[in-house]
A = this chain, B = another copy of it.
């Protein structure tokens, strides 16, 4: 696989990032640590990456010409969001331009039904599923889960049907149904694979949901799984990225069922929420790993040095406008608390405005502090809605 890395200059690389959100900002910070430069594309001139790049190209992530402009101005292109013009990226790939993760993988992953088929065909364990149209879905006996083929994220595009009353919530878009899995834990494994084929994997992260709701409460690492499940999850995640021949950071979300089985839920072809804690808790962050992986550098160690929990900082419902952070005093006082505020100019209900990583002596401590942070730190706006 050396031919791929030969395109990359050995040092002083300019990274092109399609998307200028928080993931782009954190990628840019890792690039800058290494002295690399960043050119980014985003529709908003004041997006989080705007003050942290050599050049921000303002334009739609669907605009082929703008994506080509990013490529012309950089040595290697990556993206920080799936909702981009995949065709444009594929044209670059077809012309031998380095784009990582490779656009044909992004295309596969964006269609969650194709993604599932790929996983099942290759022998990876997935929940049982099949494609049905909505009229057929109405004939099914609950419980089951309906999932949108395209565009779902952060719990959107997923309908859990537990009883016939839930039929009213069914999505009208292209979708598939999957068996209702009795879940013990939801977990995520962040894997990084370089242009050279070198692979590194982080300890498994537990995604903790609010009691009885489909809302993420916090992420905790390590996940405190039995040793053999931890190892199996890591091996599974690595096998998937190897099977994809993927380059860059990937997050593999899985279910641990009540009967102790691992089932792949979905793949994210990019740096991921479940890897944010690595900035503070691991020897090398997921962001630096992504930069190293796609520029042909050796990967760093994924060793975790402190237990960590991460909570997202979402815009409070009822507010919009200029963000105001409440409770920051109480939170910043606590040892091991890291407030990341993305610098978005406008808040909206449930918009991701920042995140907080807590590192500490043990998992119980970081869970406790994370809960306090969730209750204390609030992003409101200067306008009521």
Report A's interface with B, CB cutoff 8 A.
Answer: 10-12, 25, 29, 32-38, 51-54, 283, 292, 297-298, 300-301, 303, 305-306, 322-325, 328-329, 332-333, 335-343, 354, 359
Least CB distance from A119 to B in Å reads 32
A35 touches B354 (CB 8 A): yes
Residue from B51, B303, B322, B329 within 8 A of A54 (CB atoms): B51
6 more contacts with CB within 8 A, not counting A29-B32, A38-B51, A51-B52, are A10-B328, A11-B341, A12-B325, A29-B29, A33-B338, A33-B339
Q: Which residue of B lies closest to A51 (CB)?
A: B54
Q: Which residue of B lies closest to A337 (CB)?
A: B300
A51 touches B25 (CB 8 A): no
B35 touches A343 (CB 8 A): yes
Hey, which chain B residues are within 8 Å of A335, CB to CB? Answer: 283, 300-301, 303
Residue from B53, B298, B333 within 8 A of A332 (CB atoms): B298
Residue from B29, B38, B297 within 8 A of A328 (CB atoms): B297
Least CB distance from A335 to B in Å reads 3
Hey, which chain B residues are within 8 Å of A52, CB to CB? Answer: 32, 51-52
**CA distance in complex: A33, B306 (Å):** 20
**CA distance in complex: A323, B354 (Å):** 36
B51 touches A341 (CB 8 A): no
Residue from B12, B329, B337, B343 within 8 A of A32 (CB atoms): B343
Once A300-B332, A332-B292 are accepted as A-B contacts, the answer to whether A342 and B305 lie under 8 Å apart by CB is: no
Most buried by B among A12, A322, A323, A359: A12
Residue from B36, B37, B297, B328 within 8 A of A11 (CB atoms): B328
Q: Which residue of B lies closest to A288 (CB)?
A: B338
Least CB distance from A96 to B in Å reads 24
Least CB distance from A304 to B in Å reads 12
Least CB distance from A65 to B in Å reads 24
Least CB distance from A142 to B in Å reads 44
Least CB distance from A280 to B in Å reads 8
Least CB distance from A137 to B in Å reads 43
Hey, which chain B residues are within 8 Å of A37, CB to CB? Answer: 51, 343
A-B contact pairs, 8 of them (CB 8 A): A32-B51, A33-B339, A33-B341, A283-B335, A283-B336, A297-B329, A301-B335, A301-B336
Least CB distance from A283 to B in Å reads 5
Hey, which chain B residues are within 8 Å of A300, CB to CB? Answer: 332, 335, 337
